[in-house]
Amino acid sequence: MSAVMNATAAEMNERSEGVWRAAWRRFKTDRVGLVSMGVVAIFLVMILLSATGVVARNFQQEVAVPNAPPSFLGARAAEKAAAAVAAPLTPNVDLSDIDPLAPRYAEWAEKAKQYHTTETVKATTLPLGADRLGRDVLSKAQKGTEISVFVGVLAALVATILGTLLGASAGFFGKKVDDFLEWLYNVFTAIPDILLIFAFAAVLGRGIGTVVLILGLTGWTSLYRQVRAEFIKHRQREYVRAAEAIGASSFSRMFRHILPNVSHVVLVRMSLMVVGFIKSEVILSYLGLGVPVDQVSWGTMLAESQAELILGYWWQLAAATVFMAVFVTAFSLMADAWRDALDTKLRGQE
Give the footprint of other proteins on residues 329-348 (CB under 8 A): 329, 332-333, 336, 346-348
Closest to other proteins by CB, 80 vs 237, is 237
Q: How far is the CB of 291 from other proteins (least distance, A)?
A: 15
Q: Does 196 bind other proteins (CB under 8 A)?
A: yes
**Residue from 324, 337, 341, 342 binding other proteins (CB under 8 A):** 324
Q: How far is the CB of 251 from other proteins (least distance, A)?
A: 12
Q: Does 293 bind other proteins (CB under 8 A)?
A: no
Q: Which stretch binds other proteins (CB under 8 A): 61-69, 91-99, 125-133, 201-209?
A: 201-209
Closest to other proteins by CB, 159 vs 319, is 319
Q: Taking the CA atoms of 144, 149, 150 and 156 in sequence, report the sign of the dihedral they define.
A: positive
Residue among 311, 294, 167 nearest 226 (CA): 167
Query: Helices marked H in the chain — which ranges?
Result: 9-12, 19-28, 31-51, 77-83, 105-114, 137-173, 175-190, 193-204, 208-219, 221-235, 238-246, 250-251, 259-286, 298-310, 315-342
How many Cβ atoms sit within 10 Å of the Cβ of residue 322?
12
Q: Does 172 bind other proteins (CB under 8 A)?
A: no
Closest to other proteins by CB, 64 vs 152, is 152
The residue type of 56 is A
**Residue from 27, 200, 224, 338 binding other proteins (CB under 8 A):** 200
CA separation, residue 127 to residues 69, 72, 117, 295, 311 (Å): 8, 8, 27, 21, 20
Q: Does 97 bind other proteins (CB under 8 A)?
A: no
Q: Does 112 bind other proteins (CB under 8 A)?
A: no
Size of site (CB under 8 A) for other proteins: 78
Q: Which stretch binds other proteins (CB under 8 A): 4-12, 49-57, 68-76, 223-231?
A: 4-12
Q: 3-class DSSP state for residue 130? A: strand
Closest to other proteins by CB, 200 vs 231, is 200
Closest to other proteins by CB, 161 vs 259, is 259
CA separation, residue 287 to residues 175, 201, 299, 315 (Å): 42, 11, 8, 21
Closest to other proteins by CB, 61 vs 186, is 186
Q: How far is the CB of 348 from other proteins (least distance, A)?
A: 6
Rounded CA-CA distance 214/155 in Å is 8
> Segment 220-279, which members bind other proteins (CB under 8 A)?
237-239, 241-248, 257, 260-261, 275, 279
Q: Does 212 bind other proteins (CB under 8 A)?
A: no
Q: Which residues contact residue 26 at a Cβ distance below 8 angstroms, ignoring those fewer than 6 apart? A: 340, 341
Closest to other proteins by CB, 169 vs 316, is 316
**Residue from 93, 109, 202, 293 binding other proteins (CB under 8 A):** 202
Q: How far is the CB of 227 from other proteins (least distance, A)?
A: 16
Angle in degrees, CA 16, 22, 23, rounded to 5: 155
Whether residue 44 contacts residue 344, with contact meaning beta carbons closer than 8 Å, is answered with no
